[in-house]
Amino acid sequence: MPNIDAGTTQYSHGALLRAILFGVQRLGKSPETVSVEDLAPVDEFHIGGRVATKDFLDQLDIAADDHVLDVGCGLGGASRFAVQQYGCRVTGIDLTDEYVNTGEVLCSWVGLGDRITLDHGDATTTPYSDGAFDKSYMMHVGMNIANKKALASELYRLLRPGGRLGIYDVMRVGSGDLSFPVPWATVLEESEVSSPDEYTALLEAAGFRVTAERNRSAFALEFFSQLQTKGGAGSSPLGLHILMGDSAAEKVRNMIENVSQNRVAPVELIAEKPA
């Protein structure tokens, strides 16, 4: 089971909605005029941002009549993108109350509140019924979940037969101590990074069939390079500095080191629940 106290402390901001509203106003927008695209720099809290989201979610073949589960939804950025891009319905779940509450407001700003439900809860023990979802995905979530066996079993339970699951997490791909802090953890004790083989073994034990795996380290390094060229995480009024705080630059530098030294990499896994 995830360490709920550590997880919520790591991600809680205290005045997140106010900070985002200030960024929106600096863009010359308001809650009435801001768009899903405008919010992307702050609400896509994973390596590669919106570009990574589209490339990843396209692999799930999401249809307009699908009900999709966004595991560890954060502010709901990927949920809003999925609804806008594919016309589906999305339910998101996340441990951090402030993220969920802020995300609900952002959904209302862009007029998608009727297609998206964001819930506060533990992804390893959700309140949803068996087979409730056609597709499911998680992006940069597993690094904070120790009990991935329970997570895999729960995701299998929640998908209908023939449903598809996508995972885009930072995973352990080599040896060496990680440099901290990183975006998901301040110290080693908060980090639950696992290898692609460990993910695959747990998914297959739960009943999934893993159909694809892709290491995105080169993409990650290019993303970080562009981020630094543009002036870092704080260069945009709605940049990830809002979520990562004063340590944003240090976290980015450590991620560049960790990925370039082949200690970790963002990895995509696609799996199917047999029909």
Residue 232 has a pLDDT of: 56
pTM of the predicted model over 0.85? yes
pLDDT band of residue 13 (cuts 50, 70, 90) is low
Mean pLDDT of 26-51: 94
Mean pLDDT of 14-42: 93
Return the exposure string of 115-131: e unless at least 16 CB atoms fall within 10 Å of the residue's CB, then b: bbbbeeebbbebebeee
pLDDT band of residue 226 (cuts 50, 70, 90) is confident
Residue 249 has a pLDDT of: 86
Residue 57 has a pLDDT of: 98
Tell me the pLDDT of the chain averaged across its residues.
92
161 vs 164: CA distance, rounded Å: 9
Instruction: Say which residue, 41 or 147, is predicted with more confidence.
Output: 147
Q: What are the tens digits of pLDDT across the range 181-222?
A: 999 999 999 999 999 999 999 999 999 999 999 999 999 999
Q: Is the pLDDT of residue 229 over 60?
A: yes
How far out from the chain centre does Cα 128 lie?
20
133 vs 72: CA distance, rounded Å: 15
Q: Is the pLDDT of residue 3 over 50?
A: no
* Percent of the chain scoring above 90 in pLDDT: 83
Residue 15 has a pLDDT of: 85
Mean pLDDT of 122-147: 98
Q: Is the pLDDT of residue 114 over 70?
A: yes
Query: Hey, what domains does the chain have and what are their CATH numbers?
Result: 4-272 (3.40.50.150)
Residue 228 has a pLDDT of: 77
pLDDT band of residue 14 (cuts 50, 70, 90) is low
Q: Is the pLDDT of residue 161 over 50?
A: yes
Return the exposure string of 54-83: e unless at least 16 CB atoms fall within 10 Å of the residue's CB, then b: eebbebbebeeebbbbbbbbbbbbbbbbbb
Read off the DSSP letter of residue 188.
G
> Checking phi first, is residue 239 left (phi over 0); if not, alpha (psi -120 to 50) or beta?
beta
Residue 9 has a pLDDT of: 46
69 vs 165: CA distance, rounded Å: 9
Q: What are the tens digits of pLDDT across the range 76-95?
A: 999 999 999 999 999 999 99
